Amino acid sequence: MLEAVNLSKSFYYGLFQRNKNDAVKNVSFKIKKGETLCLLGESGCGKTTAGMMIAGLIKPTSGMVLYRKENIFKYRPKELKKFRTRLQIIFQDPDTVLNPRWIIEKSLSEPLRIHGLANGKESRDRIMELIETVGLSHEHLNRYPFELSGGQLQRIILARALLLKPDFIVADEPTSSLDVSVQAQILTIFKELQKKFQLSCLFITHDLHVARCIADRIAVMYKGTMLEEGNAEDIFSNPVHPYTRGLLDSLIIPDPEAVHPLDSNIPITSDRNYTGCKYKELCDYREQICEEKEPVLKK
């Protein structure tokens, strides 16, 4: 249904754009209908950039995103507008996603107004239906965003994303700014809705618990590249890459003897322009070849 092919994005900065930062490098994956792929990785590993490219909000330096076998960056404006109804993105911080000067109802009806899909009573009915699906009531509609809590806002944003009846959702850490109890609620609603509307999803997160709860398949990213991809159970039961193993070991379980966190003494470098494997500094299995060649992910 949606496919990323060798997606890369480099940012250029500095005097005369001399410095280059490969935020995402050669990332490929496929997502089938109704499936959830979880993009897992630490801060700054390029997972948000990848998500923005999938949503068509950032142009990749090279590579393409295929939606139903069509490259979304080759769309004509009309097709792009149509695509915007098929794919929705949910952002990390619900406090900033709605216009602070608009009441919730106005923000909610906005997608319908932009696409001229429904107005007046029809629009109101559809909003009401969705707002009840996400567990809120009509009294929330006349409030301003700052009058609602983060959890409530994230439900509103879920409702807004579903208003256009999309079949694909890019969720960029939708729960990471919420506290744990609310996270669970939102994830439960998210899963229910996903089943109900047959949604495919690219779920971006750094949280292993969240990934375990929501993912069908998991792709692990590190410093802009994809290290490992596979079924969620396989990744959790039998991680192949040492980084994935380290990540899983760092899951906090109630046994102090069993914890082997990743070595946190090595700083996350923004310099991605060295040769060889990106993980070599942290890796227990380092060999001579790691210094020379960058490994390629094989299917």
Partner 1 sequence: MSKKIFPKNRLLIFGLFLLTLLIMVSLLASYVAPFDPNYVEVENRLNRPGGKNILGTDGYGRDIFSRIVFGARFSLSLAVLVVLINLCIGVFIGTASGFFGGAVDELTMRLVDILLAFPNIIFALLVIGILGPSIPNLVFALVALGWTNYARITRGLVLSLKEQDFIISIKAIGGGDFYIITRHVIPSIIPFLVVLATLNMGHMIMSIAALSFLGLGVQIPTPEWGSMLSEGKQFIFTHPHVIISPGLAIIIAVFAFNLLGDGLRDVLDPRTKEIIKT
For residues 101 and 298, which CB has a smaller minimum distance to partner 1 in the complex? 101
Closest distance of CB 4 from partner 1, Å: 17
Contact status: 78 vs partner 1 (CB under 8 A): no
CA neighbor of 38 nearest in space, from 211, 186, 183, 297: 211
DSSP annotation string for 47-60: HHHHHHHHTTSS--
72 touches 56 (CB < 8 A): yes
Which tokens hold the place of 203?
């779920």
Helix, strand, coil shares, percent, the chain, to 5: 40, 20, 40
DSSP annotation string for 144-166: -GGGS-HHHHHHHHHHHHHTT--
Question: Of the ranges 98-106, 129-137, 271-279, 285-293, which one interacts with partner 1 (CB under 8 A)?
Answer: 98-106
For residues 106 and 280, which CB has a smaller minimum distance to partner 1 in the complex? 106
Binder among 20, 33, 70, 100 for partner 1 (CB under 8 A) = 100
> What residues form DSSP beta bridges with 8?
62
Q: How many chain residues bind partner 1 (CB under 8 A)?
A: 23
Tell me whether strands 19-31 and 2-13 are parallel, antiparallel or unpaired. antiparallel
112 touches 160 (CB < 8 A): no
Binder among 25, 47, 84, 217 for partner 1 (CB under 8 A) = 84
Question: Of the ranges 97-105, 183-191, 218-226, 229-237, which one interacts with partner 1 (CB under 8 A)?
Answer: 97-105
For residues 193 and 227, which CB has a smaller minimum distance to partner 1 in the complex? 193
Three-class DSSP category at 10: strand
Per-residue contact string for residues 166-195; x = within reach of partner 1 by CB under 8 A? ------------------------------
Contact status: 74 vs partner 1 (CB under 8 A): no
Closest distance of CB 154 from partner 1, Å: 13
Tell me the H-state helices in 115-253. 120-133, 150-162, 180-197, 208-214, 232-237, 242-249
Question: 140 to 169, contacts with partner 1 by CB under 8 A?
Answer: 146, 160, 164
Contact status: 110 vs partner 1 (CB under 8 A): yes
| Phi–psi pair at 259, nearest 5 degrees | -85, 125
Contact status: 55 vs partner 1 (CB under 8 A): yes
Contact status: 101 vs partner 1 (CB under 8 A): yes
- Can you say whether residue 46 is alpha, beta or left, with left for phi > 0 and alpha for psi between -120 and 50 degrees? left
Contact status: 118 vs partner 1 (CB under 8 A): no
Binder among 24, 40, 72, 89 for partner 1 (CB under 8 A) = 89
Question: Of the ranges 3-11, 34-42, 76-84, 127-135, which one interacts with partner 1 (CB under 8 A)?
Answer: 76-84
Binding site for partner 1 (CB under 8 A): 55, 57, 80-81, 84-85, 88-89, 91, 93, 96-101, 110-111, 114-115, 146, 160, 164
